[in-house]
Structure 1
Amino acid sequence: MTAPSGVVASDASARSHEDVEALDKPSPDYDGEKGIQSAAEIGYTATDSHGTPLVEFDRVDERKLRTKIDLMVVPTVSLLYLFCFIDRANIGNARLAGLETDLGLHGDDYNQLLSIFYISYILFEIPCNLLCKKMGPGWFLPMSSLGFGICSIGTAFVHDLPAASGVRFLLGIFEAGMMPGISYYLSRWYRRSELAFRLSLFIVMAPLAGAFGGLLASAILMLPGFGILHTWRMIFAIEGIITVGLSLISFLTLTDRPETAHWLSQEEKDLAIARVKSERVAQTSVLDKLNWKKIQLGFWNPVIQVNAFIFLLNNITVQGLAFFTPTIVSTIYPNYSTIQKQLYTVPPYIVGAVFEVIFPLLSWRFDRRQILIILTAPLTMMGYIMFLASDEPRVRYAATFFTAISCFAVGPLANAQASAQVVSDSSRSMSLATNMMYGNVGGLIATWSYLSWDGPDYPIGNGLNLAASSLILVLSTLLLLWMQWDNRRREKRDVELELQGKSQSEIESLEWKHPGWRWKP
């Protein structure tokens, strides 16, 4: 019998009967030569008890499928996230255009306004991602985008701090599920090694939002006002209208999962499912029902917890740059016009965006994430040392490039790690939400890192970021060493003996406690 298109016969597929039966006999008539079709079907496992794939995929067919997915899935979520971040961070541009004066903000009122967003953002992170799994990303992501677009428009009509705080709180609710939701959505389509690069293609919209947002804000400020909409109010209104338009289009363009993709043939759907399933030890389906035991193990996962804390530290810098780069540039070049200051915020973001793609591209090439996270930390440390050590404007402006080069790259790498260190879909929805929840605690800290009375040099804010990046270097190195040690310890376990007597559902629920599981550094 000849193997079908997309599969190459291998030793793993030849021994598939024995290995599948060891995992509680998914089906008595499992045929290894059917390869992809069997691996994709619900009820069949696609790995042996040690996590080895039972089929080997044809690289040409995989590349064709991956390219098609790249073109049909990534652009939509990237655009949604671009305006998600713009609608969050445009308050920094609005500040330069007179928001504080018009709303009567004084002292630390601006920091309070930033903080209220993160309170709802953190509280709703996990519930939103579980809702995303329950509803399906094809509906959840467009609905969330529509919600925060409306909130952005609403910000254009506020007249005092309480009203602005209320809208920002709602904005945090609607944006809470976007980054973990998109990351979870892409994990339905891509292999572990491929995911970091694809995550970078939408997360790169964060620094691009800083660059594009600065350009867009500069252009909007040149427009004549309309009724009560003028200066900073126009920024929120126009950018919110664009977001609403994109969200309505995404209801039609966002495909929920491979099974519902009308632009894939049945063979391509089987290949898409089998590819992902082949990396999920003992799982009989890619998209399982919500399972609370798996969800708990997705949260109480030692690698996820440390990785999430690293992301928290990193987000102190990322969100600090998003909210305060216009302010920092203003202190470096105080005599420049508002539009010139807006334009000076653009180049660091562009450079950061380039490296945010380069690091995950290396991750795809070598299927490694942890070592790359380690390598970003020294560059961030260098940037903040320059801030603290020099009063020279050109040196301090150059420091913004060093911080942007390194810190933005951690986002896709950390989220790819959160996806790679769990097994099931239920656990993955929780691990990604946990990673983002911790990360947004870092964002909340960032809103208080640059205080008005600490300017114009901001030694406290810069010192905090230097400490955070230094701690990232230490923790990420220790985590890599621990994963390598624990994998060596797991090699000594008797997999078959430990699984003996367990049902298939019990085996699937073991998650990272499965004896055949290995951490993926």
Structure 2
Amino acid sequence: MKETLDTKAEPDFEAQAAASDEVIQDAALYVDPIAERKLLRKLDTYLAPVMTIIFLTAYLDRSNIGNAASAGMTADLKLKGNQLGNAVTLFYVLYVSFEVPCSILVKRFHPRRMIPALMFFWAIVIIGTGFMKTASQLYASRLLLGLFESGMFPCLALYLSTFYQPKEQALRVSYLFVSAALSGAFGGLFAYAILKMDGVGGLQGWRWLFIIEGCASVVIAAGIYFCLPDNFETARFLNEDDRKLMRIRAEINARYNGHPEFEWKEVRKAVTDLKLWISCWSQFMGDICSFGLSTFLPLILKAFGYGTVTTQLLTIPVYVFAAGSYIFVSWMSDRYKRRVAFMLPGVIVTAIGYALQLGVPVHQKGVLYFSVFLIAPGIYIIVGLNCTWLLNSHAGYYKRATAIGFNQTLGNCAGLVVGQIFKTPVHGKYSLGLSISLGAVLLGGCGHTALFFLLRSQNKKRDAMTVEEKEQAIKDGKIGDFHPDYRYAL
């Protein structure tokens, strides 16, 4: 398809020429900006609630172990030593093992079938958790839960990348991380309400927490099966004009998409790409903080001397504030087409929050509670924008699928660490876990900085290429994000 310059087109950091923003002007590929804005509103109106509900359900069912532990589960199951931490760790054993396969297979097995099926199976596991009697049964339930939840984030992030352009993805991927934040708020609220059922039917309140949330997940899985389209061609909420516009948007990026069918060389391209491993490093460090917060926040707050009910309620404003902050920063990141400029301030603010947690005496509850409001938003900004940055930095569907799978696999290995560093509090604080989290967020910031300089150097090299060099690179088979016209988000 012939390409020329269109000075009226909106610049795109993924495909810009050296002196001006490169777009495709061919009449068949013209995108009406007003129609495109209407299309994006329609996509957001439909997909945002669906994505939010799916991931909210996943995180509620994953993180409610912290609420249950603070409400008596540890004593009722006679957990000793670090058995609770071991249970948290075991969740990630199968979780990290199946993320890459799930991300590669979701297209073949269809998102509409695969995602609800995974939800249904983990819901059954959650219901069964409400009836367990021993630590061994708790271990088994966490292993199975990790298996069925393993593909959720990479599948959903990859799914969103098939509907949205790279410059639109930060806000949309934020749906998933906002869901994780809201799960903390709703988790505390649900726990507060459900724990009042203590003794109903001869079951403790924490058991009802698992049973009710599991039953709700079964219902949601059935609804998702009927609501989730496989792709924009089968989306009932789009009309034919919308689909034509989606086809044009897809065609504009076609030269970066690579072969439409699975090829092992796309996997090799991903695993031999340095920028993937830098991203994985940063994700691992960020997830140490993220999992520590989502799993142990109720216990951290309770260690300050708050009662069980007060602890559940105090988690709610933290997560609501984190969700709102992250949505705003994601919107700004898309608006200004910048990633690291928003991630590094998040690193600094989070580090300050951890420093306060470690340095302030435990009796100063107000200051310690305030510090959590610094930690939570920064964590979601760091890990959320890092995932978006990775999606923007890999092209070719299966290269991107492999990259997001590996990113989440290695990042979620942090769960194996978190369960071992947040152990018994010393003088009212989980000092070991908080100290390691502080170091992790700073090391993650180093990774973000390194990736920024790497991608900037690649963009500069491509800007300096002559027309002949670009033509030769294309003849040599440079496609995807290795295409000479591809520009990495910074």
Kindly provide the amino acid, as one letter, of the partner of residue 348 in structure 2.
Answer: P
The answer to whether the 8 A contact 1:193-1:368 is kept is no
> What is the Cα-based RMSD across aligned positions, in Å?
2.4
In structure 1, what is the equivalent of residue 370 of structure 2? Answer: 398
Tell me, yes or no, if structure 1 residue 77 matches structure 2 residue 48: no
Give the one of 134, 157, 160 matched to 2:134.
160
Question: Equivalent residues in 2 for 1:21-420 (5 A)?
Answer: 52-55=22-25, 56-223=30-197, 225-227=199-201, 229-279=203-253, 281-283=255-257, 288-332=260-304, 334=305, 336-391=306-361, 392-420=364-392
Give the one of 513, 518, 521 matched to 2:482.
513
Kindly provide the amino acid, as one letter, of the partner of residue 513 in structure 1.
Answer: F
Runs of 4+ with >6 A deviation: 46-51
Separation of aligned partners in 2, 1:214 and 1:74: 23
Separation of aligned partners in 2, 1:257 and 1:463: 44
CA shift for structure 1 position 320: 0.2
Taking a change above 3 Å as real, the CA distance of residues 49 and 91 of structure 1, as seen in their structure-2 partners, is same
CA shift for structure 1 position 209: 0.6
The answer to whether the 8 A contact 2:59-2:183 is kept is yes
The answer to whether the 8 A contact 2:166-2:392 is kept is yes
The answer to whether the 8 A contact 1:388-1:462 is kept is yes
- CA deviations 1:145-177 (Å, max 9, x no partner) are 112111111111111111111111110011111
The answer to whether the 8 A contact 1:197-1:364 is kept is yes
In structure 1, what is the equivalent of residue 439 of structure 2? Answer: 467
CA shift for structure 1 position 70: 0.9
Separation of aligned partners in 2, 1:415 and 1:198: 11
The answer to whether the 8 A contact 2:171-2:331 is kept is yes
- CA deviations 1:440-499 (Å, max 9, x no partner) are 012322222211164522222111111111112222122212221222123333465465
Separation of aligned partners in 1, 2:376 and 2:472: 51
The answer to whether the 8 A contact 2:31-2:248 is kept is no
The answer to whether the 8 A contact 2:85-2:420 is kept is yes
In structure 2, what is the equivalent of residue 41 of structure 1? Answer: none
The answer to whether the 8 A contact 1:49-1:281 is kept is no
Separation of aligned partners in 1, 2:163 and 2:188: 33
Q: Secondary structure at the match of 1:305?
A: helix
CA shift for structure 1 position 409: 1.7
Separation of aligned partners in 1, 2:310 and 2:63: 18
Separation of aligned partners in 2, 1:517 and 1:485: 13
The answer to whether the 8 A contact 2:473-2:483 is kept is no
In structure 1, what is the equivalent of residue 10 of structure 2? Answer: none
Separation of aligned partners in 1, 2:425 and 2:314: 23
User: Number of residues paired by the alignment?
Assistant: 475
The answer to whether the 8 A contact 1:196-1:361 is kept is yes
Give structure 1 stretches of 5+ with no counterpart: 1-8, 15-45
Considering Cα pairs closer than 8 Å and 6+ residues apart, tell me whether 1 or 2 has the greater RCO.
2
Larger Rg: 1
Taking a change above 3 Å as real, the CA distance of residues 49 and 235 of structure 1, as seen in their structure-2 partners, is same
Q: Identity of paired residues, percent?
A: 29
Separation of aligned partners in 2, 1:215 and 1:410: 26
The answer to whether the 8 A contact 1:121-1:173 is kept is yes
In structure 2, what is the equivalent of residue 444 of structure 1? Answer: 416
CA shift for structure 1 position 62: 0.4
Kindly provide the amino acid, as one letter, of the partner of residue 216 in structure 2.
Answer: I
CA shift for structure 1 position 48: 10
The answer to whether the 8 A contact 1:93-1:326 is kept is yes
Kindly provide the amino acid, as one letter, of the partner of residue 54 in structure 1.
Answer: I
Taking a change above 3 Å as real, the CA distance of residues 196 and 49 of structure 1, as seen in their structure-2 partners, is closer
Separation of aligned partners in 1, 2:17 and 2:192: 58
Separation of aligned partners in 1, 2:486 and 2:337: 17
- CA deviations 1:26-65 (Å, max 9, x no partner) are xxxxxxxxxxxxxxxxxxxx98999943234221010111
- CA deviations 1:377-404 (Å, max 9, x no partner) are 0001100110111112221111111101
Kindly provide the amino acid, as one letter, of the partner of residue 44 in structure 2.
Answer: D
Kindly provide the amino acid, as one letter, of the partner of residue 472 in structure 1.
Answer: G
Q: Secondary structure at the match of 2:457?
A: helix
> TM-score under structure 1 normalisation?
0.86
The answer to whether the 8 A contact 1:356-1:408 is kept is yes
Separation of aligned partners in 1, 2:159 and 2:98: 18
